[in-house]
Amino acid sequence: MKLLVTGGLGFIGSNFIRYWLSRHPSDVVVNLDKVTYAANPENLADIKNNYTFVQGDILDVELLDKILPRTDLIVHFAAESHVDRSIDDPLLFVKTNVLGTYTLLSAAKKYGNIRFHHISTDEVFGSIPLDSTAQFSESTPYDPSSPYSASKASSDHFVRAFGKTFGLPITITNCSNNYGPFQHPEKLIPRMITNLIDGQKIPVYGAGQNFRDWLYVNDHCSAIEAVIQKGKLGETYCVGGLKETSRNIDLVKKVIKLMGKSDDQIEFVADRPAHDNYAVSWDKILTELGWEPQETLESGLQKTVDWYLTHESWWRSAKTEAEAFYKKLNDYKNLKK
Ligand code: NAD
Ligand code: TDX
């Protein structure tokens, strides 16, 4: 099979390509990635066989015209993925996540309705009240909170509409927060680990009571594989990693303990606007496709901490960029006070 993976130099996309080629060595993967600040070519530097990297934009119709005639399956990861950056520059998220997905769908339709798997997020469902134990599921109405989740919600609607209107063979996964090797240090878990390595405080937004479900990235890859191989066309599958969610403050304390540091490293800072909470039920993918996560939060965090402790050359320059972004965001917030 010939796959086009978009955004394959980012966190989940690069883990997915590595996972897929190790399990399907006779398949051929083309990785189309624009190489934004979030990409790192080193992620796949050791992958040589049945793999081609193309630097380019999912909005580039002429480029898609060259790639798609030889494609059986598109696995669409490419996106702007960071909520805090979507507060700073929402339009970029509309361009990449909405127009980019639309452009890719149109190209998939043009070349004989290519099978299209769309990677989305549980953030499209909105927010669960702080005192509730409710969970999102495939039938939860969409109610996004941030420009990021609004752009992902829009892209999901276009994917489903192309399925219904044009018969494009689509599937969607809406997963919870991923973590693991190769995640950009702008995101909470790698930011915490690298701050602790640097002897810096961990900035916890608000009171740290917001909660999320955490999914180890390899478990996400196996869920996508299950949906590609056994999922029903036109369907959505929610993917999560835990049975119970974790409040941010508890997660932070777990990482501090794993790294042998003190809770004094925690610093409570101004909250994120429209800060949301999510918990996701993965009953459907378990019952219908027999998928379940293999890592516990403890085992996944240990692997992740070990990886960042031994890969400083991978994360150092990305961290410098991420912290410069956060400084700019804080300066802007202070200006508005
Ligand atoms: P990431 O930010 O690490 O990587 C995104 C990749 O997309 C980068 O390599 C970037 O260069 C590429 N890209 C951006 N714009 C592009 C464009 N116009 N054309 C081609 N390539 C482009 O993201 P991630 O965390 O790996 O997330 C991947 C996907 O999974 C996204 O669609 C995201 O919304 C979704 N998702 C992520 C999480 C998570 O916890 N990270 C959870 C749920 C869903
Ligand atoms: O420094 C921080 N301090 C802090 O308290 C950062 C970076 C985050 N947080 C909080 C905000 C969130 O409640 O931690 C939680 C996780 O934050 P992020 O890592 O920014 O992730 P989140 O906003 O939950 O979004 C992630 O999961 C869903 C991904 O970035 C999205 O792409 C995905 O769709």
Q: Which atom of ligand 1 is nearest to the CA of 12?
A: 26
In the set 33, 57, 80, 123, the catalytic residue is: 123
pLDDT digits (tens, 9 = 90+) for 9-23: 999 999 999 999 999
- 84 located within any domain: yes
- 140 located within any domain: yes
Task: Name every protein residue with a CB atom under 6 angstroms from any ligand 2 atom.
Answer: 81-83, 121, 123, 177, 187-188, 191, 203-205, 210, 212, 248, 272
- 324 located within any domain: no
Judged against a pLDDT cut of 70, whether residue 137 lies above it is answered with yes
pLDDT digits (tens, 9 = 90+) for 34-45: 999 999 999 999
- Give 330's pLDDT tier (boundaries 50, 70, 90): confident
Determine whether 17 is exposed, middle or buried from the number of CB atoms within 10 Å of its CB (0-12, 13-18, 19+). buried
- 327 located within any domain: no
So what's the pLDDT on residue 336? Answer: 65
Ligand at minimal distance from the CA of 80 is 1
Query: What single-letter DSSP state applies at residue 280?
Result: B
So what's the pLDDT on residue 337? Answer: 62
pLDDT digits (tens, 9 = 90+) for 166-213: 999 999 999 999 999 999 999 999 999 999 999 999 999 999 999 999
Structurally, how many domains does the chain consist of? 1
- Strand arrangement, sheet containing 2-6: 51-55, 28-33, 2-6, 73-76, 115-121, 170-175, 236-239
What range does the domain containing 24 cover?
2-182+214-243+275-296
Ligand at minimal distance from the CA of 207 is 2
Residue 121 in contact with residue 178, Cβ under 8 Å?
A: no
Give the mean pLDDT of 152-162.
Answer: 98
Q: What is the CATH number of the domain that holds 239?
A: 3.40.50.720
Judged against a pLDDT cut of 90, whether residue 269 lies above it is answered with yes
Active site residue 148: yes
- 191 located within any domain: no
- 248 located within any domain: no
Query: Is the pTM higher than 0.85?
Result: yes
Judged against a pLDDT cut of 90, whether residue 333 lies above it is answered with no
So what's the pLDDT on residue 282? Answer: 98
So what's the pLDDT on residue 238? Answer: 98
What count of other Cβ atoms lies within 10 Å of the Cβ of residue 166?
Answer: 13
Residues sharing a CB contact under 8 Å with residue 88, sequence separation 6 or more, in sequence order: 325, 328, 329, 332
246-247 and 211-212: which strand pairing? antiparallel
Helices (H), 33-146: 61-67, 83-88, 90-93, 100-110
- 189 located within any domain: no
Give the mean pLDDT of 105-110.
Answer: 97
- 319 located within any domain: no
Judged against a pLDDT cut of 90, whether residue 329 lies above it is answered with no
Mutation to probe ligand 1, out of 4, 5, 9, 12 (largest number of atoms < 8 A from CB): 12
Task: Name every protein residue with a CB atom under 6 angstroms from any ligand 1 atom.
Answer: 6-7, 9-13, 32-36, 38-39, 57-59, 77-79, 81, 96, 100, 119, 121, 152, 175, 177-178, 184
pLDDT digits (tens, 9 = 90+) for 218-244: 999 999 999 999 999 999 999 999 998
So what's the pLDDT on residue 335? Answer: 62
**What value does the mean pLDDT of the chain take?**
97
DSSP secondary structure letters along 188-257: HHHHHHHHHHTTPPEEEETTS--EE-EEEHHHHHHHHHHHHHHPPTT-EEEE-S-SS-EEHHHHHHHHHH
- Give 106's pLDDT tier (boundaries 50, 70, 90): very high
